[in-house]
Amino acid sequence: MPTRDSTNRKAGTAPSRFGVVVIGRNEGSRLAASLESLQGCGCPVVYVDSGSSDGSAQRARALCEAVIELDPVRPFSAARARNEGFERLLARHPDIRCVQFLDGDCTLLPGWLAAAQAALDADPKRAIVIGPLSERHPEASVYNRMCALEWKSPAGLIQNYGSLGGIMLVRADVFRDLGGFNSQVIAGEDSELGVRVGLSGHTVRKIDVPMAIHDADMRRFGQWWTRSVRAGHAIGQRASLNGKTELRDCVRELRSAAWWGLVLPALILGSVIPTHGLSLLLLGGYLLLAVRIYRFRKRRGDTASEARLYTGFTVLGRFANGLGLVKYFSNRIMGRFHIIEYK
């Protein structure tokens, strides 16, 4: 079955420097809010749907120039959706210079596109610009609060591409030259693109202008755990792809996830009987890890309660990350990758 592509011919084809690609899967009312936030941007918008069953594609047709429903024969991924949206956008508007990628659970803030464009214009080597992302309802759950804390990072040149998310303004020519997102990367595809941008001699910049509001809507521990497993999968895949480059992408993160999430637990449990329980003393290593993380977050400006929350979930998340590594290498052996959904 071919990809379904519907176009709103009333949208017109006036030249535009900007274009927007929105991706989603069963986002419900969040998608409507996302698309409505773009109505005043004065630029073409393409929505790409990955097999939604909640009527998302139908809802988007009234608010977008074009809607693409991905062929389910090929595995869904955010990377694939963004790539197909980009190609559709540029096929209709070849003059577009910059593309804003947006997820269907996010709303773009007024003034962002103009500020981001100015930041790109200020440096021809600058290929991607992002800004602060805030969480819509951090008070709704501890998992939403964790997302809000994860979004916090200082403005400036980005060299740790793990802080680069999929919501970004990117130069269309650089994106095309690099082949877009790697469609085989099912998690962390945004950070993996950032690595290739850096290797190509271009830069990624975060400016101090609010970019978007994210709606995680995570209410259950299982959602957070699956998301952390997904992060471990991303670490494994990114390290395999770009770990041997000069940027050594995710090599340190891979070692950390493997040690704290797999090796040390196996060592402790496997030695309990031979050491008459003395191996349990090695659990103190997690206390040392917690102290390091807590101090780091305090230096980043967290309050004491925020730093404690982040520390506790990050230490616990190492075990999920370890399982994510196992899942990645299993998928790699099997030769197939499928998205890991947590909501």
> Is residue 343 in a domain?
no
Q: Each residue of 236-251: pLDDT tens digit?
A: 999 999 999 999 999 9
pLDDT of residue 251: 96
Domain housing 305: 236-334
How far is it, in rounded angstroms, from Cα 266 to Cα 249? Answer: 26
Please tell me whether residues 212 and 252 are part of one structural domain. no
Question: Do 208 and 240 belong to one domain?
Answer: no
Residue 206's alpha-carbon distances to 64, 92, 131, 203, in angstroms, are: 28, 29, 5, 10
Residue 41 confidence class, pLDDT cut points 50, 70, 90: confident
The verdict on 214 and 94 lying in the same domain is yes
pLDDT band at residue 10, thresholds of 50, 70 and 90?
very low
Cα–Cα distance, 228 to 235 (Å, whole number): 11
pLDDT above 50: residue 299: yes
For the chain, give the percent of residues with pLDDT over 90: 86
Question: Do 189 and 264 sit in the same domain of this protein?
Answer: no
Query: What average pLDDT score do residues 37-66 get?
Result: 92
The reported pLDDT for the residue numbered 338 is: 82
Of 42, 311, 72, nearest to 81 (Cα)? 72
Contacts of 294 (CB under 8 A, 6+ apart): 307, 308, 311
What are the distances in angstroms from CA 139 to CA 47, 128, 151, 218? 30, 31, 15, 11
CA 111 to chain centroid, in Å, comes to 22
Q: Model confidence at 304, in pLDDT bands (50, 70, 90)?
A: very high
- Same domain for 214 and 242, yes or no, is no
**Averaged over 313-340, what is the pLDDT?**
93
Position 341 in a domain? no
**pTM of the predicted model over 0.85:** yes
Cβ neighbours, 10 Å, residue 20: 26
pLDDT band, very low/low/confident/very high, at 336 (cuts 50, 70, 90) = confident
Q: Name which of 115, 117, 81 is nearest 99 in CA terms.
A: 117
Chain centroid to CA 168? 10
Domain count, the chain: 2
Q: Which of 157, 167, 174, 176 is nearest to 134 (CA)?
A: 167
**pLDDT attached to residue 14:** 37
- Supply the pLDDT for residue 9: 37
Residue 340 belongs to a domain: no
* Same domain membership, residue 300 and residue 246: yes
Q: How far apart are CA 11 and CA 22, in angstroms?
A: 16
Burial 254-264 (b: 16+ CB within 10 A, else e): bebbbbbbbeb
Residues 26 and 144 in one domain: yes
Percent of the chain having pLDDT more than 70? Answer: 95
Q: In the Cβ-directed half-sphere of 64, how many Cα atoms lie within 13 Å?
A: 31
Mean pLDDT value of segment 278-298: 97
In degrees and rounded to multiples of 5, residue 166 shows phi and psi of -75, -10
pLDDT of residue 254: 97
Question: What's the rounded Cα separation, in Å, for the pair 137 and 214?
Answer: 9
Regarding whether 307 and 199 lie in a shared domain, the answer is: no
Q: Tell me: pLDDT of 1 over 50.
A: no
- Which residues sit opposite 5 in a β-bridge? 68
Instruction: Work out the mean pLDDT of the chain and round it to a whole number.
Output: 92
* Mean pLDDT, rounded, for 318-341: 92
Confidence category of residue 12, pLDDT binned at 50, 70, 90: very low
CA distance 183 to 5: 19
Over residues 137-153, mean pLDDT: 95
CATH number of the domain at 105, please.
Answer: 3.90.550.10
One domain for residues 52 and 199: yes
Q: Which two tokens stand for residue 91?
A: 């096929």
pLDDT at 140: 95
Position 218 confidence tier, pLDDT thresholds 50, 70, 90: very high
Q: Which residues contact 252 (CB under 8 A, 6 or more apart)?
A: none
Mean pLDDT value of segment 141-148: 96
pLDDT reading at 275 higher than 80:
yes
* Same structural domain, 196 and 280: no
335 Cβ contact partners less than 8 Å away, ≥ 6 residues apart:
none
